[in-house]
Amino acid sequence: MILPVATLGPDGVDLEGEDPVEAFDWTDSPREVVRPAGPLRWKLHAELFGRELVVTGRAEAPFEGTCCRCGGPLSRTWGDAVSLSRELPEEGVSEVDLTSDLRETILLALPSNPVCADDCPGLCPRCGKRRADGPCGCADETEPNAFGALDALFGGPTHEQHTPPEPKKKPRTTTTDKKRR
């Protein structure tokens, strides 16, 4: 993102646009679970205060990769607010390259464990299937149980609640007092 300083009027300037995905200068590594999948988009307001350039707004980009929770494909947009300032030299500046600043803003917004959706249901702990793909057939506590249906029919609990007995409190074993004096 090249900001033409010359266009900055007394009220600053509003800018909106995008840089191609190559702006990320991304090198795939086996450690990375996501990679940029489209242009780096920005919507900014730039203003000059004396020689100080102040830029605010937002930058974001689409990413794709593998969900850290379910192992399925991931396709999401991540970004963050932009707020930066830069002292410009007295003369000879017609434009300022903000590409690396915007790139940093976006990369810092990437979660350390990216998931395909914030509410990704993950994997079934019993069979290991992705829950997002549909029911796996394993019973789990979220399925309605037969007693629940009977309760609904007869308007009250029809069965004894089998709660495990309270564990008996063990008498405290006296340990050697190792407190520092």
User: With respect to Zn ion, which residue has the nearer C-beta, 12 or 114?
Assistant: 114
* Stretch of 1-9, 46-54, 66-74, 137-145 contacting Zn ion, by CB under 5 A: 66-74
CB of 32 to Zn ion, least distance (A): 17
Which one of 46, 59, 67, 106 is in contact with Zn ion (CB under 5 A)? 67
Q: Which of 10, 80, 13, 15 is nearest to 44 (CA)?
A: 15
Summary count for the chain: helices (H), strands (E) = 2, 7
Centroid of chain to Cα 40: 17
Q: CB-based burial of residue 72 (10 Å sphere; 0-12 exposed, 13-18 middle, 19+ buried)? A: middle
User: With respect to Zn ion, which residue has the nearer C-beta, 103 or 130?
Assistant: 130
Applying CB under 5 A, the site for Zn ion has a residue count of 6
- Distance CA(172)–CA(170), nearest Å, equals 6
CB of 134 to Zn ion, least distance (A): 14
- Distance CA(147)–CA(159), nearest Å, equals 7
- Distance CA(17)–CA(28), nearest Å, equals 25
The verdict on 44 binding Zn ion (CB under 5 A) reads: no
Which one of 70, 82, 98, 106 is in contact with Zn ion (CB under 5 A)? 70
The verdict on 84 binding Zn ion (CB under 5 A) reads: no
Cα–Cα distances in Å, from 155 out to 1, 161, 162?
A: 66, 16, 19
CB of 133 to Zn ion, least distance (A): 10
Write out the binding residues for Zn ion, residues 104-163 only, by CB under 5 A: 116, 120
The verdict on 69 binding Zn ion (CB under 5 A) reads: yes
Q: Which of 168, 150, 174, 172 is nearest to 160 (CA)?
A: 150
CB of 73 to Zn ion, least distance (A): 9
Using CB under 5 A, list all residues that contact Zn ion. Answer: 67, 69-70, 72, 116, 120
